[in-house]
Chains A and B, each alone.
Chain A
Amino acid sequence: MKMNTTDPAAHPEQVLYSRCTVDLSNGQQTIEDVPCRNLEDVLGGFGRSFQDLAQRRIESAYCDENPLIVNTGLLTGSTAMTGMRTYFSSYSPIKGSKKGLPAAMWSAGSGKFGAKFKWTGLDELVIENRSPQPVYVVITATDTGPQIELRSAEHLLGLSTHDKIMALSKEYDNAHFAVIGQAGENWENVYMGAVALSTENQLKSGEDKCRFAGRGGMGSIMGYKNVVALVAQCNDKIKPVSAEVKKVNLNVIKGGGAARLQPIRRGGGGGTWAAYDVLQAFHAVPVNNFRPQGNDIPEKLFRENVEKDYFIESQACYRCGITCHNNISEKNADGSRGEFLAKFDYEPLNLLGTNIGIHEAGQAARLIQLSDNYGMDAISLGVTISYALAYNERHGDQPILNGAQFGDYEKIRQLIIQAGEGRLPEIGCGSMRLSQQMGETDYAYHVKGLELAAYQPESNPGYAWAIAGGHMSMGTYGLLTREGKTDVDSWVKGITEDKLHIVGFDMIGLCKFFDINNGIGTQMVVDCLRSEFGFEIDAQSIRAAVRRAFLLGLALELRQGYEKNEFALPAEVHKNPNPHIKLSNITSEQFFAQLEQRVWEIFDPELEELLK
């Protein structure tokens, strides 16, 4: 980026970002320095891409006019801790209104690809149209700026995400990669294709330790465009960490919410996996398609029980001190580490474990590994499978697909393989479509076409207003569980003021664990921006930009045909309240009706301007 001002809030046009537009139909490309329209453009991520998507009227995700926008955030590749994010934005094949129009969507991922992409000198890649042959895009840094080339990807077709990355790593030194798996290649029948992003750990160990931009089918869009991979090749450009940023980074590790994610041996809570213990205390761990049973069955996947039989390692992303995730491997007879199985994060562990009746850690790990290798969003995949299993439980005499039941590991494994290979569109196209096809939509656990994360909707009516999938685009998931808020006022404030700010992380290039409770409108971010770029900007201006970006997301949903009644929770939550969940009931029809009215009263006037 070129920064010709110290005040990007007042003079965004004096900040220019480097954008390459590639037309896949003819190979033409344009690289230009684009002046920012506003602070959202300066921050980047979906704050910029959604403004560009808003300029297009797209009626089908799989059309040539639908671009794939790959970009980074202002702090991607910086010395600020967690600054590793890459964003993929497009109109989504899986998230869409009942009217049949695709929703604008973004997905974020870590790994080192984002930093490498930024270090090539490019801030944004806009991929237009569709290539007649499979290609991959190589972005390299040169003395005159970033250079972009399209190369044949025939040799990569049919490989898993991991194998594609390892194959490319043999061809390209000093590079990182964003790839799709077989799922993305089979985009016609798989709407939940993810983009896998390579990690240093993966390239060094040769083990499949990718990170994923999973949500919304951005890998399927890549597949539709016949772009199998992106390569970012350049030297690392890490600046020395300033005293100011060092202080912030220490605060991220020790002082902020991330402390709870640190490994147990460092006095932390043990990564995202530890959510199991806390939610189980409320009987709010999703079981068998989001129907907790009030028993101790989720405890089988508690860390203390898993580590008896498996080798667990706490791990961090590149140059990050948070150590948010755990890798699970087989344990050798002498207690040493055996074959690597998968990365255990709370969401995939639950949604491809307890929520589909799989309570053995090794089986859950192998299902996660399959999902990762085929390149599917583990959340959408797990929830669509749990819907199918719930259907089969209700229709024992006429089951669908292969008749799999909850806990039937082999049959579930087959469903994942078939879906990943594009042979099972019933699963590959998501729970909304499958439930409509079956005529039983009440227990399909999606909101607006995007499957729920592993937090019971009974604990989070805010899901309805998440613009890119709960829980990471509406931070209300702890409002009841953690804060005990049961009054409408608190929920209205949470949804319309405080908790929407979680999306700011998907603009600026930081992971949410940087400061998950406070968003990016904070002194910590102000200090980083001053130190990294000499920007003088206040937290209030950042918060205002995040709010505008969020509202644009809501406005785009309405423009894409969503009716207000689609901002809703799965009907089963209201119609058949779960008596086992030990939390106050804040999802009665009455409560939700009041919430809807009050939330829209606040949002509507602001949206009117945006919808003109």
Chain B
Amino acid sequence: MAIIITVKLVGVFRIDRFKEQSYPLPCGSRAVDVIEALNLSRRLLGIILINGAHASENDQLQSGDCLTLMPLIEGG
């Protein structure tokens, strides 16, 4: 069985990828599966949100979820 989620990318993660996209995944997929499939840099990955709430890369995804992946830059 497959699920469909929405993936939103922020900042440099959009370069050569996309801003927002529907994303089919096998049932039982976790955030890390998307991170790896998109080949996002772990060094840059700062924040993972599932439906607007902070989450970890091992959190499981459900159909209809919105997964937001952000780099984090600090200071100024």
Chain A interface (Cβ < 8 Å from any Cβ of B): 254, 257, 259-261, 264, 267-275, 277-278, 281, 324, 345-347, 453-454, 471-472, 477-478, 481-484, 512-513, 516-517, 582
Instruction: For the complex, give the distance between the alpha carbons of A346 and B76 in Å.
Output: 5
Indicate which residue in A264, A324, A478, A513 contacts B72 across the interface (CB closer than 8 Å).
A478
- Assign chain B's interface to a size class: 20 to 34
Say yes or no: B76 contacts A272, CB within 8 Å.
yes
Indicate which residue in A273, A481, A484 contacts B53 across the interface (CB closer than 8 Å).
A484
- 10 residue pairs bridging A and B, Cβ less than 8 Å apart: A259-B43, A261-B73, A264-B12, A275-B76, A277-B11, A281-B10, A281-B70, A471-B75, A477-B74, A513-B75
List A contacts of B75 (CB < 8 A): 272, 324, 346, 471-472, 512-513, 516
Instruction: For the complex, give the distance between the alpha carbons of A517 and B46 in Å.
Output: 12
List B contacts of A270 (CB < 8 A): 11-12, 73
Residues 1 to 44 of chain B near chain A (Cβ within 8 Å): 8, 10-12, 15, 41, 43-44
List B contacts of A517 (CB < 8 A): 74
Shortest A77–chain B CB gap in Å is: 22
Closest to A255 in B: B43
Chain B interface (Cβ < 8 Å from any Cβ of A): 8, 10-12, 15, 41, 43-44, 46-47, 52-54, 68, 70-76
List A contacts of B12 (CB < 8 A): 264, 268-270, 274, 277
Say yes or no: A278 contacts B47, CB within 8 Å.
yes
List the 9 closest pairs (A to B, CB-CB), nearest first: A484-B54, A346-B76, A277-B11, A347-B76, A274-B73, A259-B43, A272-B76, A275-B73, A269-B71
List A contacts of B10 (CB < 8 A): 277-278, 281
If A264-B15, A269-B73 touch, whether A482 touches B47 (CB-CB below 8 Å) is: yes
If A274-B71, A278-B71, A281-B10 touch, whether A481 touches B76 (CB-CB below 8 Å) is: no
Shortest B3–chain A CB gap in Å is: 23
List A contacts of B53 (CB < 8 A): 484
If A264-B15, A278-B11 touch, whether A272 touches B73 (CB-CB below 8 Å) is: yes
Instruction: For the complex, give the distance between the alpha carbons of A202 and B72 in Å.
Output: 30
If A260-B43, A264-B12 touch, whether A271 touches B73 (CB-CB below 8 Å) is: yes
List B contacts of A345 (CB < 8 A): 76
Other contacts beyond A277-B70, A482-B74, A516-B75: 6, CB < 8 A: A257-B74, A260-B44, A271-B73, A277-B12, A278-B47, A482-B72
Shortest B72–chain A CB gap in Å is: 5
If A260-B43, A269-B44, A481-B47 touch, whether A278 touches B15 (CB-CB below 8 Å) is: no
Instruction: For the complex, give the distance between the alpha carbons of A261 and B12 in Å.
Output: 11
